[in-house]
Amino acid sequence: MGRKCLLFIILIGVSNILAAGGNQAVQPAVAIRTPLIEDSVRRSKLLDPTILRQELETALRATRKFRVLTRDKAMLGAVMEEQDFARSRATLGDAAPTGKLRNAHYIIQPVVHDFVMGRGCRKIPVLEGKYKCRDSGRIRVTAQMLDTETGQIVTTFTLASKFATGTWNQNGRGSGPSKKRFVTMAQQLGAQLADQMIAQVYPMKVVKRSGGQVIINRGQDGGLKQGEVLKAYTAGEELIDPDTGESLGVAEEYAGKVKVTRILPKITYATIVEESVPIDRGFILRKQ
């Protein structure tokens, strides 16, 4: 085989690889800012904004549908320090370059509106020094989703979690709930945020219909449960504000209901249980 022919084959191969890479959808980049705490919320050592932000980030990363960027000052400081090192004479030339930090498409700003967490103890009359105790807590957070290109508030998510333990007897009143209780609530808020973010950025849709069954573009990371019933809507024409020219979304019409029967890694099967118009490819699905 001549050199020219070999070079041609190599160039074709490289161009195919680049084309394949270019066809891949770029995941939206999201940055979660450290949660703000409303003035009316009573301050508590158990309310840790850093842990809350970290659990929200972890939940979004776990979906594998977003690129999660850090806005933690300490982490960004470490990156800047490494980039400063890259400019020094001590490097081999393969150290971290500057000017490569990514911008976020969306900023999430959580605000804590309500937080209570503690231990309630009641003295047991017949037992000296014995108390009946119970731990409980609740947290409510809103998270504004901001479009960094326009500065507009895309939507506001509402997240909430609570817990209450059973009662137990102990000597004295003791201290209070374990920090693990707060971490668990933060993880639950993260799961809610991930579910709502996916629904906002990647609407749940029918990708195929076969008889009385549909296939949905959601898998095991989509927050669906077997037996869950979803409402189906037609995806109509785009609605444009006549004064501003702004897109107001898509006109939707109720079409029926489907019931989740099987959840696979990347897709979900559902059976049609009710339809006013034939449910087909492209129809939008929403949780009840």
CATH assignment at residue 224:
2.40.10
Inter-residue contact 133 to 166 (CB < 8 Å): no
**Residues near 183 by beta carbon (within 8 Å), at least 6 away in sequence:** 51, 55
Write the pLDDT tens digit of every residue in 229-257.
Answer: 999 999 777 778 888 777 666 778 999 99
> Does residue 267 belong to any structural domain of this protein?
yes
**pTM of the predicted structure, to 2 decimals:** 0.72
pLDDT band at 70 (very low <50, low <70, confident <90, very high): confident
Write down the residue that tokens 């998270």 correspond to: 143
Q: Which of 58-62, 221-225, 257-261 has the highest mean pLDDT?
A: 257-261
Write the pLDDT tens digit of every residue in 95-117.
Answer: 555 555 568 899 999 999 999 99
* SS3 assignment, position 78: helix
Average pLDDT, the chain: 84
> Does residue 225 belong to any structural domain of this protein?
yes
Q: Are residues 104 and 165 in the same domain?
A: yes
Number of domains the chain is built from: 2
Q: Are residues 194 and 261 in the same domain?
A: no
Q: Are strands 29-32 and 106-123 parallel, antiparallel or unpaired?
A: parallel
Lowest mean pLDDT among 20-29, 53-62, 234-243, 246-255: 20-29
> Does residue 7 belong to any structural domain of this protein?
no
Question: Please, what is the Cα angle at 113 between 111 and 116, to 5 degrees?
Answer: 125
Distance between CA 177 and CA 139 in Å, rounded? 14
**Residues near 69 by beta carbon (within 8 Å), at least 6 away in sequence:** 29, 30, 31, 102, 104
**Residues near 156 by beta carbon (within 8 Å), at least 6 away in sequence:** 142, 143, 144, 145
Domain that holds residue 259: 206-287
